[in-house]
């Protein structure tokens, strides 16, 4: 018998190698993102394992996850086991619709900028039925090609940029990949850090490397073998409470965009981000939780970039949400 126990159906298997030729719509897309979209239901960790092992090839050659596809490329996709597709909601709740409507900071015919709420993942996953991008596609079916230009961690709030067509996506991602001083996109964050920052403005250049633990969790650490990572920290305000708690509100300008860059740089300097369960101080986090902080205090406050159609400089700012602003108000008392 082919049926599995308890009447469950086995996961379908793509039994043969597939060769996919890249067309106009996929041109410029990273190979890892292309595979995640093509192999729906395959765990993210398995997709990256296929890339590391060289089982996915482009024009018969091995490639890295950051490789950007070109028109005419032939992608070899090996046999994989596909998990059954989960049923996606066919409509949005009134609360989610209202949240999305209130989050729009800027929109035109080419792009959309949202003030992403903290705690909302940008993508659905094995434990997240509906992410922000899936919710947006349900809310705005009039934008069939809506794509994320970049990502924010689930707990991070603030400016999130989306493109409405592939050409706009490529143009914005090119700016994103450039160093700030080479005309790249300007990204400014607000972060509440542990302790009293007394050194004034500081340029931090610490290379970072990504590590994957046995359970699949990803951690980033400072390493001379890592990729170049540059952050500029500018102190905004120092808070001291009556019971001796010290915290510093910082503006952080990213010159490069590495995974967890601000969080790891801040922790390496001895001033981890408030509410950071991965790189932060548990005791400091507990004290701030009593003041109302239940998530990471990291907010993408400002984006500045060249508009892909007009070439004009466009600046978009996202205000702090009530939770983060409330924590600052309590600290200031």
Q: Give the C-alpha separation, 278 to 264, whole Å.
A: 10
Q: Tell me the sheet residues that pair with 113.
A: 106, 161
Residues annotated as catalytic (active site), given as ranges: 153
Closest CA to 291 of 258, 323, 252: 323
Instruction: Answer for the pair 239, 248: CB distance below 8 angstroms, yes or no.
Output: yes
Q: Single out the residue of 83, 73, 80, 82 nearest to residue 30, CA to CA.
A: 73
Torsion sign over Cα 253, 258, 264, 269: negative
Buried/exposed code over 36-46 (b: 16+ C-beta within 10 A; e: otherwise): beebeebebee
Q: Select from 271, 181, 286 the least CA-distant residue to 230.
A: 181
Alpha carbons 184 and 259: distance in angstroms, whole number: 17
Q: Assess contact for 232 and 206: CB atoms under 8 A.
A: no
Separation between Cα atoms, residue 56 and residue 74, nearest integer Å: 11
Which ranges constitute the DSSP H helices of 30-156?
A: 31-38, 44-52, 94-103, 132-139
Contacts of 202 (CB under 8 A, 6+ apart): 232, 233, 269
Q: Distance between CA 256 and CA 187 in Å, rounded?
A: 9
Integer Cα distance of 330 and 30 in angstroms: 44
Q: What does the block give as tokens for 11?
A: 């996961």
């Amino acid at each position: 018998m082919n049926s599995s126990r308890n009447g469950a159906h086995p996961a379908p298997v793509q039994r043969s190698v597939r060769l996919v030729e890249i067309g106009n719509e996929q041109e410029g897309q990273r190979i890892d993102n292309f595979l995640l979209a093509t192999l729906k239901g395959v765990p993210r960790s398995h997709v990256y394992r296929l890339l590391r092992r060289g089982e996915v090839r482009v024009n018969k050659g091995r490639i890295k996850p950051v490789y950007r596809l070109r028109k005419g490329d032939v992608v070899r996709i090996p046999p994989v086991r596909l998990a059954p597709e989960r049923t996606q909601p066919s409509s949005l709740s009134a609360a989610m619709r209202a949240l999305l409507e209130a989050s729009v900071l800027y929109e035109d015919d080419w792009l959309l900028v949202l003030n992403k709420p903290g705690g909302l993942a940008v993508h659905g996953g094995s434990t997240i039925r509906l992410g922000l991008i899936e919710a947006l596609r349900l809310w705005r079916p009039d934008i069939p090609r809506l794509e994320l230009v970049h990502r924010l961690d689930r707990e991070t709030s603030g400016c999130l940029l989306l493109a409405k067509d592939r050409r706009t996506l490529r143009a914005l991602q090119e700016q994103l990949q450039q160093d700030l001083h080479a005309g790249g996109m300007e990204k400014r964050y607000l972060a509440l850090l542990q302790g009293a920052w007394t050194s004034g403005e500081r340029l931090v250049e610490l290379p970072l490397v990504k590590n994957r633990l046995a359970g699949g969790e990803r951690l980033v650490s400072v390493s001379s073998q890592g990729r170049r990572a540059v952050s500029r920290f500018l102190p905004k305000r120092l808070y001291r409470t009556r019971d001796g708690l010290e915290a510093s509100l910082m503006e952080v300008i990213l010159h490069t965009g590495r995974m967890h860059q601000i969080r790891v740089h801040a922790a390496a300097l001895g001033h981890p981000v408030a509410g950071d369960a991965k790189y932060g101080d548990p005791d400091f986090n507990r004290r701030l939780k009593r003041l109302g902080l239940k998530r990471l205090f990291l907010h993408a406050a400002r984006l500045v970039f060249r508009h892909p159609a007009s070439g004009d400089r466009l600046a978009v700012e996202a205000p702090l949400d009530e939770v983060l602003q409330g924590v600052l108000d309590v600290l200031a008392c």
